[in-house]
Chain A
Amino acid sequence: MAELTINGSRKELDADTLADVVELLGLGGRPVVAEVNGEVVASEKWAETQVESGMKIELVHFVGGG
């Protein structure tokens, strides 16, 4: 279990990588930009980016309405 701060809220997730986090939050395949501790991580690197407790993750889900 990793205790993460995701978009400002604390969450405990059974996730090893950033790809797991995106998947667990139901954002897989969606237009999302991920930032870990203030640095943007390209989607090609999500699967190899390990997550650990205490990380601050921002998932910016692009909105298309208007």
Chain B
Amino acid sequence: MTEQEDRYSRQVLFAPIGDEGQSKLANGAVCIVGMGALGTVLASHMVRAGVGRVRLIDRDYVESSNLQRQMLYDEDDAAQSLPKVVASENKLKKINSDVTLEKVFADVTPGNAESLLKGMDLVLDGTDNFQTRFLLNDACYSAGIPFIYGGAVGSRGMSAVFVPGSTPCLRCLIPSADSGGETCDTVGVISPVVDIVASYQSVEALKWLVGDRESRRETLLSFDVWNNRLHELKPVPAKPDCPCCGLKTYPALRREEETLLSLCGRESIQIAGHAPFDLAIWAEKLAPATRTVKANPYLIRAELAEGGRLVLFEDGRVLVQGTDDPVRARSLYARYIGN
């Protein structure tokens, strides 16, 4: 037995996958959007299972508050403020060097969503907000790529499979991107529930990639692991006037690019639209106004002497941290970065 055969032997023994399924996995391409708690579990399953290409997309860097549940990261990653996609790639390539990893350190936006998803067989939801989910929903239905939703908060989790041309979409179930204020940053989340959600998503991903359409879960699964409840919602009919799967206008793809984005509950506001930063030059520029400047090849974290923190990313994004107030964020931005 070659090392390659040995690696996947248990999975190949599982009849619904078998040798044929394994080679389909090897030819598969999966995109994981968001490398937080869901994304790290999704990536681990996909990479260990031998999916040929795994694209990882995330805009954020590792912080110590991530370590409780984001299973690919460690204390060193947080100390270095490494981008999550970089820290993930470091771990994943040690887990399975056969997999082609494509890391993208960026925000998914209406402008880049379609090109980021191009050539993918599946999109796995690792995001933490409905705005990005609606964007992925529209981009996937427009491109004909299945989208596997997952979400968790507190001890509750949900998952569903959305297949263009065959099932209704996320918009058919919920009309707006308003989460109603319940997020991981306001009511918390426990690690097991996210693992469970991402594992359900991963099972559906494996079924899809090996071509087992009959076994696809058609219900929307919803559970509360603390209060011992599990519910399956029967599929609802597609809405004929759904702007995505009915009318095919895909509104999230047509949305104006927003330059200002509040990262929910984290006292962080992202401002995009600056040209790419030369980080070495900006570290020097910011030094006089800051208590400490921490830099790595991907970003600078500047603790401002007046309070608050600016994080500059190579691609031109800036996070203003220590405030939830857009006006204050704009003013710090204008003062230190310019207009």
The reply to whether B153 and A40 form a contact with Cβ atoms under 8 Å apart is no
Instruction: Tally chain A residues at the interface, Cβ within 8 Å.
Output: 22
Binary flags per residue of A28-46, CB closer than 8 Å to B gives 1, else 0: 0111110100111011000
The reply to whether B236 and A33 form a contact with Cβ atoms under 8 Å apart is yes
The reply to whether A62 and B174 form a contact with Cβ atoms under 8 Å apart is yes
CB distance from B67 to the nearest CB of A (A): 16
Determine if B234 is an interface residue (Cβ-Cβ < 8 Å).
yes
Chain B residues with Cβ under 8 A from A60's Cβ? 158, 220, 222, 231, 233
Determine if B38 is an interface residue (Cβ-Cβ < 8 Å).
yes
Q: A8-B229, A31-B130 are in contact. Are A62 and B236 (CB under 8 A)?
A: no
Chain B residues with Cβ under 8 A from A7's Cβ? 229, 231
CB < 8 Å neighbour of A65 from B174, B176, B183, B234: B183
Chain A residues with Cβ under 8 A from B231's Cβ? 7, 58, 60
Chain A residues with Cβ under 8 A from B150's Cβ? 66
Q: Which of B169-186 contact A (CB under 8 A)?
A: 173-176, 178-180, 182-184
What 10 A-B pairs are tightest by C-beta distance, nearest first? A30-B180, A65-B184, A31-B174, A64-B179, A65-B153, A66-B38, A63-B151, A63-B153, A66-B128, A40-B236
Chain B residues with Cβ under 8 A from A62's Cβ? 130, 151, 158, 173-174, 179
CB distance from A30 to the nearest CB of B (A): 3
Q: A62-B173, A66-B36 are in contact. List 10 more A-B contacts (CB 8 A).
A: A7-B229, A29-B180, A30-B180, A31-B176, A60-B220, A61-B156, A63-B153, A65-B153, A65-B194, A66-B150
Q: A30-B180, A31-B178 are in contact. Are A58 and B151 (CB under 8 A)?
A: no
CB < 8 Å neighbour of B234 from A29, A32, A40, A64: A40
* Complex: A40 Cα to B222 Cα, angstroms: 14
Determine if A27 is an interface residue (Cβ-Cβ < 8 Å).
yes
Binary flags per residue of B183-194, CB closer than 8 Å to A gives 1, else 0: 110000100001
CB distance from B300 to the nearest CB of A (A): 27
Determine if B37 is an interface residue (Cβ-Cβ < 8 Å).
yes
CB distance from A25 to the nearest CB of B (A): 12
Q: A63-B157, A64-B183 are in contact. Are A29 and B178 (CB under 8 A)?
A: yes
Determine if B11 is an interface residue (Cβ-Cβ < 8 Å).
no
Chain B residues with Cβ under 8 A from A33's Cβ? 173-174, 220, 233, 236
The reply to whether B36 and A40 form a contact with Cβ atoms under 8 Å apart is no
Q: A29-B178, A30-B178, A31-B178 are in contact. Are A65 and B229 (CB under 8 A)?
A: no
CB distance from B35 to the nearest CB of A (A): 10
Chain B residues with Cβ under 8 A from A31's Cβ? 130, 174-176, 178-180
Q: Which of B126-181 contact A (CB under 8 A)?
A: 126-130, 133, 150-154, 156-158, 173-176, 178-180
Q: Can you list 26 A-B contacts with CB-CB less than 8 angstroms, sorted by A residue number?
A: A7-B231, A27-B180, A30-B182, A31-B175, A33-B174, A33-B220, A33-B236, A35-B234, A40-B233, A42-B236, A62-B151, A62-B173, A62-B174, A63-B151, A63-B154, A63-B156, A63-B158, A63-B179, A64-B183, A65-B151, A65-B183, A65-B189, A66-B39, A66-B150, A66-B184, A66-B197
CB distance from A45 to the nearest CB of B (A): 12
Chain B residues with Cβ under 8 A from A29's Cβ? 178, 180
* Complex: A30 Cα to B194 Cα, angstroms: 21
Determine if B34 is an interface residue (Cβ-Cβ < 8 Å).
yes
The reply to whether B229 and A66 form a contact with Cβ atoms under 8 Å apart is no
* Complex: A47 Cα to B236 Cα, angstroms: 19
CB distance from A27 to the nearest CB of B (A): 7
The reply to whether B152 and A58 form a contact with Cβ atoms under 8 Å apart is no
